[in-house]
Amino acid sequence: MSASLGHSVSVAAVVVNDRTQILVIRRRDNGRWEPPGGVLERGESIIDGLRREVREETGLEIEPERLTGIYQNMPRGIVALVFRARVAGGQLHPTEEATRVEWWARDRVSSHMAEAYAIRVLDALSGTEPAVRSHDGVSILQGKPALPS
């Protein structure tokens, strides 16, 4: 999306299980590992869109717990709202949008995800106030944190 056309809003969920593992998907379109999420549809509420995206990509129903960050992809004009969430039902399985869905330990996130997505997971696990960050689709541009290796 061109910046001249405005911004789009996306949502993503950092779904955490009772063993503090994080739900991740391998996107079918680009092969990247990311938390499940996507662009809101016009007229769709933020929470309804979040639940729809997670269901479409993983088969799971979720219950959002709290907003953990706002992330702006500067080149693409996308603002993402990220929420920590828990599983409320459904059956985990690959989908048309995700070739794989897995539960990962926290220490795997930084080494297997692009920094712009790994930081979303780490921010959601931190328990602090929501983060506000800018990125270029891969790397953090402002307030660059030191990610553990």
Give, for all 149 residues of the chain, the pLDDT tens digit: 344 467 899 999 999 999 999 999 999 999 999 999 999 999 999 999 999 999 999 999 999 999 999 999 999 999 999 999 999 999 999 999 999 999 999 999 999 999 999 999 999 999 789 999 999 988 988 655 545 54
141 located within any domain = no
108 located within any domain = yes
What pLDDT shows up at residue 143? Answer: 56
Residue span of the structural domain in which 130 resides: 3-135
147 located within any domain = no
88 located within any domain = yes
Total domain count for the chain? 1
What pLDDT shows up at residue 5? Answer: 61
Contact 133, 95 (CB under 8 A): no
142 located within any domain = no
26 located within any domain = yes
- pTM reported for the whole predicted model: 0.89
Strand partners, 126: none
Whose tokens are 């995206």? That residue is 53
140 located within any domain = no
What pLDDT shows up at residue 127? Answer: 79
Ramachandran category for residue 43: left, alpha or beta (phi over 0 → left; psi -120 to 50 → alpha): left
Give the whole-angstrom CA distance, residue 147 versus residue 149. Answer: 6
CATH for 115: 3.90.79.10
What pLDDT shows up at residue 145? Answer: 55
Give the whole-angstrom CA distance, residue 74 versus residue 3. Answer: 8
What pLDDT shows up at residue 2? Answer: 40
